[in-house]
Amino acid sequence: MPALYLIRHGQASFDAEDYDQLSSLGEQQAAHLGRAFAATALHPQHIVCGGMKRHRQTAEQCLAGLGGGSVSELDWQIDPDWNEYDHLELLNAYTAQPGVGEQMVADMAGDNPRAGFQRHFAKAMQRWVSGQYDGEYAESWAQFSARIRRGLDAASRNAKGNVFVFTSGGAISAVCGQVLGLSANASAELSWQLANAAYSKILSGQSGLKLLSINEHSHFDGRHRELLSYR
């Protein structure tokens, strides 16, 4: 029975001018994931990749680690429906509130800028997901969820074997929330727990879609623990 492996991209470049590219650690994570798949003889029959650079780079590094052939030798599809939401739009709408932007800058100037950013980004996402301010966003949470569902339906409809889907945490959390029937807030909050280069497994059958696992990242256990990251 066909299975969809929803693979989150490796760590992106948080401190770089262009966030949408893998960091050195992200490249290592993706390659290690490929080697972990190879160790269990798991190979894709079809590959779906979101349209962002970090998706493509994760796919390339993973396939190189897998040793299952080059991109050109595999059944490969680019599907922008699997793109992540625009995090800058969420932040811009959030920081436009009086005093919020200044507080965020101050919090990120501390000893742990990533933690400071994460606290504010969680609030920005809650504001977006609430649906109360949809007019401030080019793509609402409802529209984002519908887009991801469209990508999921297309990937499952065309599946003839194992499908690797390279995408982002927000997309994966939206899928898991839809399959499990979770609320919008609960679905969005799943993304905070998803590790870089982790995967979630969806079974596609006659009875519909079933979530078999979420956030599989045991390949980063033990001596590979130093490769584990969430942001």
Domain boundaries, the chain: 3-85+145-227, 86-138
pTM of the model: 0.91
Low-confidence ranges of the chain (pLDDT < 50): none
pLDDT digits (tens, 9 = 90+) for 5-53: 999 999 998 666 677 899 999 999 999 999 999 999 999 999 999 999 9
Q: Are 49 and 78 spatial neighbours (Cβ–Cβ below 8 Å)? A: yes
- CA angle (91, 49, 197) in 5-degree steps: 70
The fourth-level CATH superfamily of domain 3-85+145-227 is Phosphoglycerate mutase-like (3.40.50.1240)
pLDDT digits (tens, 9 = 90+) for 33-45: 999 999 999 999 9
Chain-wide mean pLDDT for the chain? 90
Cβ partners under 8 Å of residue 112, min gap 6: none
The conformational region for residue 91 under phi > 0 = left, psi -120 to 50 = alpha, else beta, is alpha
